[in-house]
Amino acid sequence: MAQGWIRAYSDEYRFFKDKTYSRKDKSFFRKDFTTSFHLTANENAAVLKTLHWGDELILPDGIGSDDWTRGIVDGQEGFLKRWHVVEIGYLAKDVDDNKTPYTSRLQLSDNEYRKDLLWGDLIQITKRENDLCSVRARGWFGKLSSHLIGETALLNINFIDVGQGDGVLIRFPEGRHMLLDGGLPRANQQTGKNGADFVDWKFFFDYGHYKIQLDSMMASHCDSDHYGGLWDLVKKDPETDLELDCIDLKIGEFHHAGLSTWVDKGDTHKDGLGPKKSSHFTRLLNDRQDAISCLDPDNQDTLSGHWKSFLKDIIEELPETTFNRVGVTSESLKAGQDLPEIWPNTSDCKIKVLAPVTKNVDGQPALKDLGNSGVNKNGHSICLRLNYHNAQILLTGDLNKASMDFISEAYGDRISSFNCDVAKACHHGSHDISYKFLQHINAGATIISSGDAEGYAHPRPEVVAASAVTGHVDIDPVKDRLVTPLVYMTEIERSVSLGKVTHIKMRNFHDGNGNVNDKALLALNKAEISKASYLSTDEKEALNAIQDLNEKKAHREALEEREKTLLETMELESRQFETRSDFHFKTVHQLFTISYATKPLERSRILTKNHYGLVNVRTDGETIMCATMEEEGAGWTIHTFPARF
């Protein structure tokens, strides 16, 4: 039977119509919204329950076009208004489209825009009339044929564009969510965005919720280009966090690798990673209570650095979140035991834990010393393999050559466990890898997550090439084309659009003498500025709303004359008084260095659009789809290949 969510978009639209509001205001409206679940399809019938935005229910008949919809909540049958519930579906493959079966056009009311949906996109059906459904998808409202909507969800892996770092949001077919890493903190991001912002978009815009709900938040290891975005998600109350649109946050579990940064307390400690014995780090972080104890400076073991502050914020802001260390023991590998799983027996998708590999030292799990601090933190990253029917997806953290050699030795003849259809490349395309290990991975598609101006020259050309030559080769002889291997780079998928500044308009400028006027700063000579740049977006919209052509023409000419006079006046004053205008800005250089500079307004260019370098990987367990958005932001570039396990 169909699944339903409580949503009331029409009520939300009416409430905010003709009002000035923020997206945060929408979240508060959603959180406060309630609707009645009646015994019968009658406004005066007994109320069985009061339902809230985000509640889930079963819809035995799905969504129709009648005013009332039948539902089941906690085993109890009743009725609620159709416009207070949506039926959940997923974009199916269009079997009638031989050219683009993995995308379908959402019919928008505004013909100026187009929006192509992607196989597996979540569809919220608000009304069904014959074969045509009114839907909400990716935050857009439109129409979609009912035969394009199925009930079966895919395994959906989003390789988030976080610049230098990693960020992966996984939606499992049963609806669980795992956020694996989140990139650098916003303060160190050139775009000012990281994994926290993508997750916020996913829940607020795509799902239409006010709450972010993650079943797992996982830090593959304790480097800030992996946990920084997670920290931005948890460090503040979402209600007051101006960067987030959602106002509530729930995280079930925090998974970590165990290796942490510690206050040095004796000669046995090394590199701030804790005490060593028999060439192994013996102090690994464990559960929530252990983390709480280790925040105390008087404790035998005390956490240190930004990692400590991050964990402290999780503990203080998320009192119900459990802590769980992730790993596999070398003893179990030698004994031929099954790989450990996260959430065993709860999903058709198995989450196998492949690393870090621990060894029993004096009855405690310990991690081998692989070298310096960076080599150890990177090398002991969490490594997962997602098994979904015939598909295998490998998520590797920042494994390096030292850890790859160690893992190969620990796995022995079980090293084929790393063989996969899709792999997230180790350590952003660093040259510090084992080519033999890449041969064991033998991926059909490799995704490299890297950033701009990071100081490491990632991804290295030899690693990009190695990802291809060690990948699984599949050639279509009929079409004479390469199917796999594929190599994706978020840095390549990312792009920007630049615009040339003509002038800066200041409205209602107060000169300090009681005079309020519009002013302008010119970046070009007045003669170079086209009339097309005179009007603001609001003025263009108001102009387009005028139906009478003569009235529209007269209004346009009046606005253009006003702006022409203003620009001519400002140009004369600027020359007379030698006015100079400079941008003052800050920028991120080489990850952790923030510098400040100025640039003259004259003949400057600005970033008008940052094209997001997200790589979508989706599978039904039989077919793997890799998709990236085309630069105009509406269509998709898609590659598909069969799962081979």
What does the DSSP assignment read for 368-431? E--SSHHHHHHHT--EEEEEETTEEEEE-TT--HHHHHHHHHHHGGGGGGG--SEEEPGGGG-S
Question: Average pLDDT of 124-142?
Answer: 95
Cα–Cα separations (whole angstroms), residue 387 to 233, 422, 461: 28, 11, 30
Helix (H) or strand (E) holding 461: helix 461-469
Instruction: Report the candidate in 376, 375, 251 with the shortest Cα–Cα distance to residue 311.
Output: 251
CATH hierarchy code of domain 155-494+614-642: 3.60.15.10
Dump strand ranges (E) for 337-427.
341-342, 349-355, 357-361, 364-368, 383-388, 391-395, 422-424
Question: Residue 295 CB: number of other CB atoms within 10 A?
Answer: 15
Indicate the pLDDT class of residue 454, thresholds 50, 70 and 90. Answer: low
Please state the rounded mean pLDDT for residues 550-568. Answer: 93
Report how far residue 587's alpha carbon sits from residue 593's, in angstroms, rounded to the nearest whole number.
Answer: 8
pLDDT score recorded for residue 111? 65
| Confidence check: pLDDT of 229 > 90 | yes
Which residues touch 475 (CB under 8 Å, ≥6 apart)? 481, 482, 483
Model confidence pLDDT, tens digit, residues 262-289: 999 877 788 999 999 999 999 999 999 9
Please compute the mean of the pLDDT values over residues 1-29 and round it to a whole number.
96
DSSP string, 535-579: S-HHHHHHHHT---HHHHHHHHHHHHHHHHHHHHHHHHHHHHHT-
Residue among 346, 336, 311 nearest 325 (CA): 311
Indicate the helix (H) or strand (E) that contains 48. Answer: strand 47-52
Helix ranges, 21-158 (H): 23-32
Bridge partners (DSSP) listed for residue 155: 619
**Three-class DSSP category at 222:** coil
- Residue 632 predicted with pLDDT over 80: no
> In this structure, what DSSP letter does residue 25 have?
H
State how far the Cα of 470 lies from the Cα of 446, in Å rounded to an integer. Answer: 10
Give residue 381's identity as a one-letter amino acid code: S
At residue 501, the pLDDT reads: 94
Query: Model confidence over 291-348: pLDDT tens digits?
Result: 999 999 999 999 999 999 999 999 999 999 999 999 999 999 999 999 999 999 888 9
8 A C-beta contact, residue 180 and residue 166? yes
Sequence-distant contacts of 602-606: CB under 8 A, at least 24 apart: 602/523, 602/524, 603/500, 603/501, 603/523, 603/524, 604/500, 604/501, 604/523, 605/498, 605/499, 605/500, 605/501, 606/498, 606/499, 606/501
Superfamily for the 2-119+137-142 domain: SH3 Domains (2.30.30.40)
Q: What is the pLDDT of residue 420?
A: 98
Residue with tokens 């800030």: 224
**DSSP state for residue 526 in the 8-state scheme:** G
Distance CA 7, CA 490 (A): 34
Separation in Å, CA 103 to CA 149, 255, 471, 481, 611: 12, 35, 27, 21, 20
Task: Identify the pLDDT of residue 429.
Answer: 81
Q: Say if CB 50 and CB 37 are below 8 A apart.
A: yes
pLDDT of residue 127: 97
Spatial distance between the Cα atoms of 399 and 384, rounded to a whole number of angstroms: 12
Would you state the pLDDT for residue 591?
Answer: 60
Region of 9 please: left (phi>0), alpha (psi -120 to 50) or beta: alpha
CATH 2.30.30.40, the chain: domain bounds: 2-119+137-142
> Is residue 391 within 8 Å of residue 421, measured between CB atoms?
yes
Q: Is the entire prediction scored with pTM above 0.85?
A: yes
Tell me what pLDDT residue 374 has.
93
Model confidence over 370-381: pLDDT tens digits? 999 999 999 999
Is the pLDDT at 110 greater than 70? The verdict is: no
- Split at pLDDT 50, 70, 90, the class of 476 is very high
Rounded Cα distance between 252 and 255, Å, is: 10
Residue percentage of the chain with pLDDT more than 70: 98
Distance CA 502, CA 522 (A): 6
Share the mean pLDDT of the chain.
93
Residue 101 has pLDDT above 90, yes or no: yes
Tell me the pLDDT tens digit for each residue of 481-525.
Answer: 999 999 999 888 887 888 999 999 998 988 788 888 899 999 999
Intervals of CATH 3.60.15.10 along the chain: 155-494+614-642
- Residue 339 carries which DSSP code? P
- Beta-bridge mates of residue 178: 170, 216
At residue 630, what is the residue type? E
- The answer to whether residue 125 scores a pLDDT higher than 90 is yes
First vs last Cα of the chain: how many Å apart? 31
**6 bridge partner residues:** 85
pLDDT band, residue 84 (cuts 50/70/90): very high
H helix count then E strand count, the chain: 14, 42
Q: Can you tell me which residue has the tokens 């007045």?
A: 526
What pLDDT, on the 0 to 100 scale, is given for residue 515? 87
pLDDT at position 512, please?
81
For 110, how many CA atoms within 13 A lie in the half-sphere containing its CB?
Answer: 6
Residue 161 CA to residue 460 CA, distance in Å, equals 18
pLDDT greater than 60 at residue 112: no
CA–CA gap between residue 131 and residue 121 (Å, rounded) = 19
Paired residues of 211 in beta bridges: 248
How far is residue 257's CA from residue 328's CA, in Å, rounded to a whole number?
10
Rounded distance between C-alpha atoms, residue 300 and residue 412, angstroms: 37
Helix (H, G, I), strand (E, B) or coil at 122: strand
Q: What does the block give as tokens for 523?
A: 């970046």
d(CA 275, CA 304): 14
- Whether the Cβ atoms of residue 114 and residue 630 lie closer than 8 Å to each other: no
The answer to whether the Cα torsion of 417, 420, 422, 428 is positive or negative is positive
Average pLDDT over residues 69-85: 97
Grade residue 612 by pLDDT with cuts at 50, 70 and 90: confident
Cis peptide bond prior to 365, omega within 30° of 0: no
Does 453 have pLDDT greater than 70? no
Query: What angle, 0 to 180 degrees and rounded to 10, lies between the N-to-C axes of helices 224-234 and 305-317?
Result: 30
Alpha-carbon distance 596 to 140, whole Å? 39
CA distance 398 to 259: 14
107 close to 142: Cβ distance less than 8 angstroms: yes
> Of the ranges 181-190, 280-289, 545-554, 574-583, which is most confident?
280-289
Read off the tokens for 640.
Answer: 């598909």
